Chain A
Amino acid sequence: MASNYTITPDEIKEISGVNPLRCMRCGRCSATCPSYDNMEYHPHQFVAMVENGEIDKLMKSESIYKCMSCMACIERCPRQVEPARLIEAIRLAVVRQQGASHLMPDDVPALLDPDLPQQALVSAYRKFTK
């Protein structure tokens, strides 16, 4: 991943449509997240860290590839903060850089098995590659 690239918190807010200031720190996102244990930074931390401007740490973290986009945090957020949208925006900020795709076409054949639905591949491409 290109190392000098920076993105401002405002750009993240714009891409995601999320206003972190709406968060009242209830923790329902992290309570409901099915991928919590796979993540270094958890959904509620994404909100606080974007608000704090700590985008770099998030961009460098594997956590952005551990979100399943299951929308549990969107569904259950009481304040329309919806952390999954922030995670998506940060992942986009990373993979939109040249050569920074998380999933390379050359890696794919090794990952396939005969039953794997096309949907898995298409979705992973959408999430991890630009």
Chain B
Amino acid sequence: MVYSYFPGCTLKNKAKDLDVWGRKSAEALGFTLEEIPEWQCCGGVYPMNKDEIAVRLSSVRALAYARDHEQELVTMCSACHNVIKQVNNDMATDEYISSHANNYLKQDGVEYHGETKVVHYLEVLRDEVGYDKVKEAVTNPLKGKKIGAYYGCLLLRPSNVMAMDNSENPTIIEDLIRAMGADPIVYAQRNECCGGYLTLEDKAIPEQRVKKILANAADQGAEMVITACPLCYYNLKKHSEGTGVEVKYFTEVLAEALGVKEEA
């Protein structure tokens, strides 16, 4: 299977680990990520308003590209996934946003109404590859490792649009952890916010959030948490000291399990 891949700005820079190991793992698992040429930054956060059109256009262009190439659009970054999937929903269901966005697209001879299916890398693993196949492909099972999933907010909310999993008791990452041979640790704070972009102005708020999240993960027995979001990764890692919990991207751990991660 070949997918249109939207890496996003951070995966080209500070979150190279999320991107690189995801691509390597995809190769190992037999699916191809074709990077969308000239993709533009998604904006990082979904515009929660009805009247801003221009900020949605980068997502729409990527979506239209995937549609024109008859491919599903894959992201690895939670934030890109959230923005693109919500914008896709706007294009399909919000008449005002859709018609105004299409007015811009007209100049390029493009018209788009939400036809593309947006899937997260995790959904490709679960629904296309299948966790049974992932399990078979694991050469370096993470036996006995106690790993908690950290979903954050962006993968799951709002659940009526994201529709990836049960937003309050998700299992998509836990099942992957199991497939990789490790023990998934379920903890309640795994879908509570890390503090997000507030970290730029005020480190105290994310710190307080992360302490609560990682304390909960540690309490339930996690030695490591894995995430799909560069911002979560940053906040978690920054304030993980003293919690005894390691923080990693899920793709890096996957690459390890699949034996495609050369020790640098």
Residues of A within 8 A of B (CB): 14-17, 34-35, 38, 65-66, 68-72, 74-75, 84-85, 88-89, 92, 103, 111, 115-124, 126-127
Residues from chain B with Cβ under 8 Å of A123 in the complex: 43-45, 79, 196-197, 231
Decide if B205 touches A75 in the complex (CB within 8 Å): no
Stretch at the interface among B48-56, B108-116, B117-125: B48-56
Residues from chain A with Cβ under 8 Å of B47 in the complex: 88, 126
Least distance between B7 CB and chain A CB atoms (Å): 12
The residue of chain B having its C-beta at the shortest distance from the C-beta of A125 within the complex is B44
Decide if A119 touches B48 in the complex (CB within 8 Å): no
Residues of B within 8 A of A (CB): 8-10, 13-15, 41, 43-52, 55, 77, 79, 153, 156-159, 167, 192-193, 195-201, 205, 209, 229-231, 233-234, 237-238
Decide if A70 touches B51 in the complex (CB within 8 Å): no
Decide if A111 touches B200 in the complex (CB within 8 Å): yes
Q: List 19 additional A-B contacts (Cβ < 8 Å) besides A119-B44, A122-B44, A123-B43.
A: A15-B49, A34-B192, A34-B195, A34-B209, A35-B205, A66-B205, A70-B196, A72-B157, A75-B157, A75-B159, A85-B48, A88-B47, A115-B234, A117-B233, A118-B10, A118-B230, A121-B200, A124-B200, A124-B201
Residues from chain B with Cβ under 8 Å of A92 in the complex: 49, 52
Q: List 19 interface pairs A-B (beta carbons < 8 Å), by A numbering.
A: A15-B49, A17-B49, A34-B195, A68-B195, A69-B197, A71-B153, A72-B192, A72-B193, A85-B48, A88-B48, A111-B200, A115-B238, A116-B14, A116-B199, A117-B230, A117-B231, A119-B229, A123-B196, A124-B197
Decide if A118 touches B14 in the complex (CB within 8 Å): yes
Decide if A119 touches B230 in the complex (CB within 8 Å): yes
Q: Kindly state the separation between the CA atoms of A10 and B237 in the bound complex, as whole angstroms.
A: 43
Given the known inter-chain contacts A68-B193, A75-B159, A119-B10, please indicate yes or no for A126 contacting B44, CB distance below 8 A. yes
The residue of chain B having its C-beta at the shortest distance from the C-beta of A102 within the complex is B201
Least distance between B204 CB and chain A CB atoms (Å): 9
* Majority DSSP secondary structure for residues of B touching A: loop
* Majority DSSP secondary structure for residues of A touching B: helix
The residue of chain A having its C-beta at the shortest distance from the C-beta of B201 within the complex is A111
Listed residue (A71, A72, A117) with the most chain B CB atoms within 10 angstroms of its CB = A117
Decide if B234 touches A126 in the complex (CB within 8 Å): no
Given the known inter-chain contacts A68-B193, A122-B9, please indicate yes or no for A115 contacting B14, CB distance below 8 A. yes
Quick one: which of A38, A89, A127 contacts B45, CB cutoff 8 A? A127
Decide if A119 touches B209 in the complex (CB within 8 Å): no
Given the known inter-chain contacts A38-B205, A88-B49, A116-B200, please indicate yes or no for A122 contacting B14, CB distance below 8 A. no
Q: Kindly state the separation between the CA atoms of A38 and B199 in the bound complex, as whole angstroms.
A: 13
Decide if B231 touches A119 in the complex (CB within 8 Å): yes
The residue of chain A having its C-beta at the shortest distance from the C-beta of B41 within the complex is A122
Given the known inter-chain contacts A68-B196, A70-B196, please indicate yes or no for A119 contacting B49, CB distance below 8 A. no
The residue of chain B having its C-beta at the shortest distance from the C-beta of A37 within the complex is B208
